């Protein structure tokens, strides 16, 4: 499991963070009056002529605009969407909110585990539940029922792209979640000309997939690439690509095919290790809660927000969006996510966020139907900075050159350690919004968004980082 967590973290970094290095400028400071021409000199380069830039820079505590380029217009935000989800969750639920997973005894030999969408639950927590049940004297379970009825509606948004849905970062959002509803497989080169060997982190996954392995072990020092695609019809994995005979194994994390079956298998294994035998397993939605005999809570929301924003965790964001619904009754043809979005908008509207400055359809930013203006992001960041939850919210953001998706950005620049910002990346989209504690000026808030880009994301990120470094060098003059 530790291997899975470490590999998943590494994969998150590969997807979301850029390996950027900014050449230090010779100018030690930038006058506010020079900021417009300095930023324009970056975004007006010929390489960027086909893309859309949206930029807004303001001082944190006042309405003063330091720079604006299409700041009021809509852009696809990618993971900058998570700023809205986490802000609303913090304001509505509070920093100490926790998510409960319970086991009920519905009758003699019948146990029902009720999931409430805890995205942080891992095998270790299942072991704790199993130990609690053993201490209750339970040794035999005739029926183990998985109750997945807490979240109602589609487990993935219909506008998510198929290439995302099959990947670990686009996995299903279910009421019962374990190991982030993902699984790890490792590709190992064999002899030249042989297919790559496949090793599953969870050996039981081997029996859940039909694998078409078209990979090969190539000659020494040849290029390495492995592609894994899931068939639209279901549980078929197509493996293509090659690893050279002298290369290291390569890891890939995938969304599990059936989250509830995955949960039951892991929980049944945890029970068996504690000496509890399970005869049969079932899935059921919305049972009546009888006697609770075991339970475990998630970490507080303040910690869940850190994983959501620092590592840009989509599953966490989608789970938190649904928790905004707070298990309220659903209107006809509405889902838990729909109600969560309604609560998100009303919560932020009450806080002063202009409701027409953004359109959201999910909580993570995976959908290209999300639209947010730089103006909305800056307003949100300003509102949160003045709220009673300001410290918790700021602590959930990556720090330049230090943590999360900004760990390898802004290294050895004046921005390192003083910029806290949320990243966002998808094909043709790059975004960065956050705070700057400017040493020789007052604190600044900014949002930089690029859409319709044909350039590699790394090229766009580097330009964005140049702009942010300019902000850190501002000085009254």
Backbone phi and psi for residue 89, each to the nearest 5 degrees, phi listed first: -60, -40
Per-residue confidence (pLDDT) for residue 331, from 0 to 100? 82
pLDDT higher than 70, residue 8? no
- Indicate if the pLDDT at residue 2 is higher than 70: no
- For the chain, percent of residues with pLDDT exceeding 90: 83
State the average pLDDT over residues 8-12.
42
Kindly indicate whether the domain formed by 18-95+303-472 is annotated with CATH number 3.40.1000.10.
Answer: no
Task: Give the model's pLDDT for residue 430.
Answer: 98
> Is 128 a residue whose pLDDT tops 60?
yes
pLDDT-derived band at 88 (thresholds 50, 70, 90) equals very high
Residue 192 tokens, joined? 């030249």
Let me know if the fold of 18-95+303-472 is the same as that of 99-298. Answer: no
pTM above 0.75, yes or no: yes
Q: Given this model, what pLDDT does residue 6 score?
A: 42
pLDDT digits (tens, 9 = 90+) for 330-359: 888 899 999 999 999 999 999 999 999 999
Quick one: pLDDT band at residue 285, thresholds 50, 70, 90? confident
Distance of alpha carbon 96 from the chain centroid:
20
Give the pLDDT mean for 64-84. 97
List, in sequence order, the alpha helices (H) in 187-300: 259-273
DSSP annotation of 79 reads G
The CATH fold of domain 99-298:
3.50.80
Q: Which of 175, 120, 434, 174 is nearest to 302 (CA)?
A: 120
Summarize pLDDT for 221-266 with one digit per residue, the tens: 899 999 999 887 768 899 999 999 999 999 999 999 899 999 999 9
Round to whole Å and give the CA distance between 413 and 403. 15
Strand partners, 253: 184
Q: Is 359 left (phi over 0), alpha (psi -120 to 50) or beta?
A: beta
Q: Reply yes or no on whether the pLDDT at 401 is more than 80.
A: yes
- Total length of the chain: 477
Mean pLDDT score, 87-105 = 97
The full set of domain ranges for the chain reads: 18-95+303-472, 99-298
């Amino acid at each position: 499991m530790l291997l899975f967590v470490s590999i998943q973290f590494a994969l998150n970094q590969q997807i979301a963070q850029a390996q950027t290095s900014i050449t230090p400028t010779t100018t030690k400071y930038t006058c506010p009056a020079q900021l417009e021409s300095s930023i324009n000199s970056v975004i007006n380069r010929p390489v960027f002529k086909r893309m859309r830039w949206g930029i807004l820079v303001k001082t944190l505590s006042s309405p003063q605009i330091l720079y604006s380029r299409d700041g009021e217009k809509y852009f696809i935000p990618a993971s900058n969407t998570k700023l809205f989800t986490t802000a609303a969750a913090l304001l509505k639920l509070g920093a100490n909110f926790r998510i409960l997973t319970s086991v009920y005894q519905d009758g003699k030999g019948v146990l029902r585990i009720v999931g409430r969408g805890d995205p942080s639950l891992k095998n270790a927590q299942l072991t704790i539940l199993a130990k609690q049940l053993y201490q209750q004297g339970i040794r035999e379970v005739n029926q183990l029922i998985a109750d997945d009825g807490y979240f109602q509606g589609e487990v993935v948004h219909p506008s998510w792209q198929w290439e995302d849905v099959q990947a670990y970062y686009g996995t299903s959002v279910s009421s019962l979640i374990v190991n982030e509803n993902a699984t790890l497989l490792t590709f190992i080169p064999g002899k030249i000309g042989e297919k790559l060997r496949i090793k599953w982190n969870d050996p039981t996954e081997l029996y859940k997939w039909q694998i078409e392995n078209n990979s090969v072990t190539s000659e020494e020092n040849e290029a390495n690439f492995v592609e894994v695609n899931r068939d639209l019809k279901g549980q078929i994995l197509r493996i293509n690509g090659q690893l050279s005979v002298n290369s290291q194994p390569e890891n890939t994390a995938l969304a599990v095919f059936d989250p509830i079956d995955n949960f039951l298998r892991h929980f049944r294994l945890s029970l068996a290790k504690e000496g509890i035998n399970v005869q049969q397993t079932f899935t059921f939605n919305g049972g009546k809660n009888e006697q609770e005999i075991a339970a475990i809570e998630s970490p507080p929301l303040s910690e869940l927000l850190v994983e959501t924003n620092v590592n840009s965790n989509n599953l966490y964001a989608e789970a938190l969006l649904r928790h905004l619904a707070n298990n309220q009754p659903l209107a006809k043809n509405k889902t838990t996510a729909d109600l969560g979005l309604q609560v998100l908008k009303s919560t932020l509207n009450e806080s002063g966020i202009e409701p027409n400055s953004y359109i959201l359809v999910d909580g993570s930013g995976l959908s290209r139907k999300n639209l947010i203006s730089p103006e909305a992001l800056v307003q949100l960041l300003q509102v949160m900075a003045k709220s009673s939850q300001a410290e918790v919210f700021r602590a959930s953001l990556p720090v330049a050159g230090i943590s999360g998706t900004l760990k390898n950005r802004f290294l050895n620049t004046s921005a390192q350690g003083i910029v806290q910002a949320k990243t966002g990346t998808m094909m043709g989209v790059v975004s960065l919004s956050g705070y700057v504690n400017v040493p020789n000026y007052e604190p600044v808030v900014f949002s930089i968004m690029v859409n319709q880009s044909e350039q590699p994301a790394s090229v766009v990120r580097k330009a964005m980082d140049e702009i942010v470094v300019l902000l850190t060098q501002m000085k009254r003059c």
